[in-house]
A and B are shown apart, each in its own frame.
Chain A
Amino acid sequence: DQQVKQNSPSLSVQEGRISILNCDYTNSMFDYFLWYKKYPAEGPTFLISISSIKDKNEDGRFTVFLNKSAKHLSLHIVPSQPGDSAVYFCAASLIQGAQKLVFGQGTRLTINP
């Protein structure tokens, strides 16, 4: 039973445009959300996170938006660059089990020149 869902297995975006990756969750007890990025033959690396007390967190070209009422978060990348081509995983955790992350299935982002 997937508690964190990324319904788009892949996304293709033109270089310079905005990339929007979406994630939905079912457990209302999740309190902290993260995005990880994964290149082929490498392990995932932490990208950006957001606490449930916020609705937006920005880090350079990356912004994460959280809509708690809809149990939805999104990652915006603007402008998109070829090096952003990777698999992006959404993850969530509970306060009490903060070390235990539940990941989505991942979305493969391809940035076209």
Chain B
Amino acid sequence: DAGVIQSPRHEVTEMGQEVTLRCKPISGHNSLFWYRQTMMRGLELLIYFNNNVPIDDSGMPEDRFSAKMPNASFSTLKIQPSEPRDSAVYFCASSLWGRTGELFFGEGSRLTVL
């Protein structure tokens, strides 16, 4: 079975450019999460969706960040404009609502903003 699929795996861009990260959750999962991993703070939750509806976006650092889930099989995380401090690994995860804590993570998208 396919796991959570993220693209791109690596992205190098220049400051000020728009970045779009993509995620396809596991089929049948109804919760989707975007996390960011940094050395200092570990894994930070940015936003999560239940049944395609954003439930909690309190972790989104600034208005430069936005996320959408137009349907049950696709989500995007957009950064516009990007800044060097956004450099991190961004993970998407999905789960079944009610299965506490058992998140299934993708392999991550490593973003480098020069």
Contacts and interface: CB of A to CB of B under 8 A. Distances in A.
Contacts of B91: 43-44
- For chain A, what secondary structure do more than half of its interface residues adopt (helix, strand, loop), or is it mixed? loop
Interface string A1-28: 0100010000000000000000000000
Contacts of B25: none
Contacts, number: 66
A6 B107 CA distance: 23
- For chain B, what secondary structure do more than half of its interface residues adopt (helix, strand, loop), or is it mixed? strand
A46 B4 CA distance: 14
B44 interface: yes
Contacts of B43: 44, 89, 91, 103, 106
Interface residues of B, number: 29
A45 B43 CA distance: 13
Interface in B76-104: 91, 93, 95, 97-98, 100-104
Nearest to B35: A103
Contacts of A32: 100-101
Contacts of B44: 103
Contacts of A102: 45
B40 A41 contact: no
Nearest to B6: A43
A98 B42 contact: no
A44 B105 contact: yes
> Which of A49, A91, A101 has the most chain B CB atoms inside 10 A of its CB?
A101
CB-CB nearest 5 A-B residue pairs: A43-B105, A105-B42, A103-B43, A98-B100, A34-B101
Interface of B: 4, 31, 33, 35, 39-45, 48, 50, 55-56, 91, 93, 95, 97-98, 100-108
Interface of A: 2, 6, 32, 34, 41-46, 49, 89, 91, 93, 97-106
Given A43-B108, A101-B45, 4 more contacts: A34-B101, A43-B107, A105-B42, A106-B43
